[in-house]
């Protein structure tokens, strides 16, 4: 039987309920594994062990008395270090000025998890201010992929995904603006869910700066786990109306559209000239479609949601960098304004577009948002014909570490051809992100090089449970969580 620490949160909660294990014993197992593996993967960067052990003993006593706090009662878990945690250091990847920041209150999503009985005992590593698809920073160093330490774990929730892959925690809370949950989940061979925008609160997430009240465009908070069932479990705790709105309405996510794989109407979009997919990954995803068909699934590989991926990517870039601009330090923003003013009108390089989009006017940003609403209408029509779209999470599997300082000049090799590093965010991760759609990453076996292969399930707006259910069914046929060597 699989090591206790490598089981799903759903299985662990059942074991707690049957009193096969106690919360304190389970927490000590995770702490022992963190001590053993920290030098290899460097996923957990801050611990709150003494307080958590005291809380675990309290949860065990409450369970013995039949007094449960909620569906996560006594479950030890970690959260990404970009979420504020009361009394526990929160640095957002060692961001300047936040190295010793200790919040007075929990981020709203963290508070919901704790309110359901979870024991938050540590924080996981990320890129500084969640601004990279790799996970490293000056304060805590590099988080490595557990399947190949020479490669990245992905980002920005890389520590979260590694903690799940290597059994350092029962459940994780990550965040996703441009793929930061789904990319590391795919790179590390676990499940991750980007919820429909707006259904999980992001207040208390850094960035923006501590104390920010306005919800950022595109950004979501969601779970990373070792099973699709765990994603659904966490979503039931996390997704509900904000307290201010709950006086007038409540959130009730619909159940999955279908009951079995054969009942679903699926589309698959596995490659595109605007976002070429490396053959090592594409071949595996094509095999997954064949395996699904052999299992009785109806998969249409020609269906598209009515727009060109190149146009979608360009629009996502405008919205993404426009939405991120408010989080930049004033001096950096002014320098970008000066650089944009000095650009030639004929310069349409990736770097030039990035600069212009970051300092675009409010009018231009509103025009981009209107264009986004038109694309959302195309998605609505698409999901009248299909239940979900299968597509890559990222153009490649986990790639070698690249910590060169200028991200705008980095490249990513796809089929041996250098592609803009940041441009990889604009294709497949954007399909869910731009239009507020739910996107679930599911592990579907391995590439020919032995690296985890992940597939993305994009679902209809607010039909998160359909996306998660399809991800579960796909993984049952074509993959699922497998512990990495040494775990």
The confidence band for 329, taking pLDDT boundaries of 50, 70 and 90, is confident
Peptide bond into 207 cis (omega under 30): yes
Q: How far apart are CA 140 and CA 160, in angstroms?
A: 14
- Please tell me the predicted confidence (pLDDT) of residue 328: 79
Give 342's contacts (C-beta < 8 A, 6+ positions apart). none
Q: Which CATH class is domain 4-261?
A: alpha beta
Mean pLDDT of 2-14: 96
Q: Among residues 127, 156, 323, 435, which one is catalytic?
A: 156
| Statement: residue 324 has pLDDT above 90 | no
Q: Among residues 175, 180, 196, 323, which one is catalytic?
A: 180
Q: Is 156 labeled as catalytic in the residue annotation?
A: yes
pLDDT in tens, 178-202: 999 999 999 999 999 999 999 999 9
- Please tell me the predicted confidence (pLDDT) of residue 302: 98
User: In this structure, what are the phi and psi dihedrals at residue 174, rounded to the nearest 5 degrees?
Assistant: -120, -175
Q: Among residues 23, 80, 160, 227, which one is catalytic?
A: 80
Mean pLDDT of 314-339: 90
- Please tell me the predicted confidence (pLDDT) of residue 326: 82
pLDDT in tens, 395-453: 999 999 999 999 989 999 999 999 999 999 999 999 999 999 999 999 999 999 999 99
pLDDT in tens, 138-182: 999 999 999 999 999 999 999 999 999 999 999 999 999 999 999
- Please tell me the predicted confidence (pLDDT) of residue 262: 97
- Please tell me the predicted confidence (pLDDT) of residue 290: 98
The confidence band for 304, taking pLDDT boundaries of 50, 70 and 90, is very high
Q: How far apart are CA 63 and CA 22, in angstroms?
A: 9
pTM for this prediction: 0.97
pLDDT in tens, 91-141: 999 999 999 999 999 999 999 999 999 999 999 999 999 999 999 999 999
Residue 43's closest CA among 169, 204, 223? 169
- Please tell me the predicted confidence (pLDDT) of residue 1: 65
Q: How far apart are CA 117 and CA 339, in angstroms?
A: 50
Mean pLDDT of the chain: 96
| Statement: residue 47 has pLDDT above 80 | yes
Q: Is 180 labeled as catalytic in the residue annotation?
A: yes
- Please tell me the predicted confidence (pLDDT) of residue 78: 98
Q: How many CB atoms lie within 10 A of CB 307?
A: 14
| Statement: residue 58 has pLDDT above 80 | yes
pLDDT in tens, 219-246: 999 999 999 999 999 999 999 998 889 9
Residue 82's closest CA among 149, 135, 152? 135
pLDDT in tens, 341-398: 999 999 998 899 999 999 999 999 999 999 999 999 999 999 999 999 999 999 999 9
- Please tell me the predicted confidence (pLDDT) of residue 142: 98
- Please tell me the predicted confidence (pLDDT) of residue 350: 87
| Domain chopping of the chain, boundaries | 4-261
| Statement: residue 301 has pLDDT above 70 | yes
pLDDT in tens, 243-270: 889 999 999 999 999 999 999 999 999 9
Q: Is 80 labeled as catalytic in the residue annotation?
A: yes
Q: How far apart are CA 161 and CA 481, in angstroms?
A: 12
Q: How many CB atoms lie within 10 A of CB 485?
A: 8
Compute the chain's Rg from CA coordinates.
Answer: 21
Q: How far apart are CA 67 and CA 63, in angstroms?
A: 6
* Between 324 and 401, the higher pLDDT residue: 401
Give 454's contacts (C-beta < 8 A, 6+ positions apart). 182, 185, 186, 187, 189, 393, 394, 441, 442, 443, 444
- SS3 (DSSP) at 469: helix
């Amino acid at each position: 039987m699989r090591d206790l620490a490598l089981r799903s949160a759903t299985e662990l909660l059942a074991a707690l309920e049957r009193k096969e294990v106690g919360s304190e014993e389970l927490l000590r197992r995770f702490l022992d594994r963190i001590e053993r593996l920290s030098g290899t993967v460097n996923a957990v960067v801050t611990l709150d062990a003494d307080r958590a052990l005291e809380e675990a003993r309290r949860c065990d006593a409450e369970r013995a008395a039949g007094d449960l706090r909620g569906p996560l009662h006594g479950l030890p878990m970690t959260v990404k270090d970009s979420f504020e945690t009361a009394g526990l250091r929160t640095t957002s990847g060692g961001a300047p000025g936040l190295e010793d920041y200790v919040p007075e209150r929990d981020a709203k999503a963290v508070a919901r998890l704790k309110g359901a009985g979870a024991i938050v005992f540590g924080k996981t590593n990320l890129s500084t201010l969640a601004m990279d698809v790799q996970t490293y920073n000056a304060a805590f160093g590099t988080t490595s992929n557990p399947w190949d330490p020479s490669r990245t774990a992905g980002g920005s929730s890389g520590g979260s995904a590694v903690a799940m892959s290597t059994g350092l925690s029962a459940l994780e809370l990550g965040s996703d603006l441009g793929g930061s949950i789904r990319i590391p989940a795919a790179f590390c061979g676990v499940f991750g869910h980007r919820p429909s925008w707006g259904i999980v609160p992001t207040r208390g997430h850094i960035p923006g700066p501590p104390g920010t009240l306005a919800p950022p465009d595109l950004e979501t908070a969601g779970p990373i786990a070792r099973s699709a069932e765990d994603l659904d479990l966490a979503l039931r705790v996390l997704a509900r109306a904000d307290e201010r709105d709950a006086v007038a309405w409540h959130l009730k996510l619909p159940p999955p559209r279908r009951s079995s794989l054969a009942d679903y109407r699926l589309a698959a979009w596995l490659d595109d000239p605007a976002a070429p997919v490396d053959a090592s990954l594409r071949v595996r995803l094509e095999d997954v479609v064949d395996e699904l068909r052999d299992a009785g699934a109806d998969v249409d590989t020609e269906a598209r949601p009515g727009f060109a991926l190149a146009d979608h990517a360009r629009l996502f870039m405008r919205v993404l960098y426009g939405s991120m601009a408010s989080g930049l330090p004033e001096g950096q923003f002014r320098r970008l304004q000066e650089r944009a003013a000095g650009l030639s009108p004929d310069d349409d390089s990736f770097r030039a577009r990035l600069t212009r989009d970051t300092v675009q006017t409010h009018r231009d940003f509103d025009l981009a948002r209107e264009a986004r609403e038109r694309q959302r209408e195309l998605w609505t029509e698409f999901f009248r014909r299909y239940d979900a779209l299968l597509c890559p999470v990222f153009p490649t599997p986990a790639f070698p570490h690249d910590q060169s300082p200028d991200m705008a000049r980095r490249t990513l090799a796809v089929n041996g051809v250098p592609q803009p590093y940041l441009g990889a965010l604009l294709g497949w991760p954007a399909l869910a992100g731009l239009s507020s759609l739910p996107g679930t990453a599911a592990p579907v076996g391995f590439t020919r090089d032995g690296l985890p292969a992940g597939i993305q399930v994009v679902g209809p707006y607010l039909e998160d449970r359909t996306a998660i259910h399809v991800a579960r069914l796909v993984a049952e046929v074509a993959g699922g969580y497998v512990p990495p060597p040494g775990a």
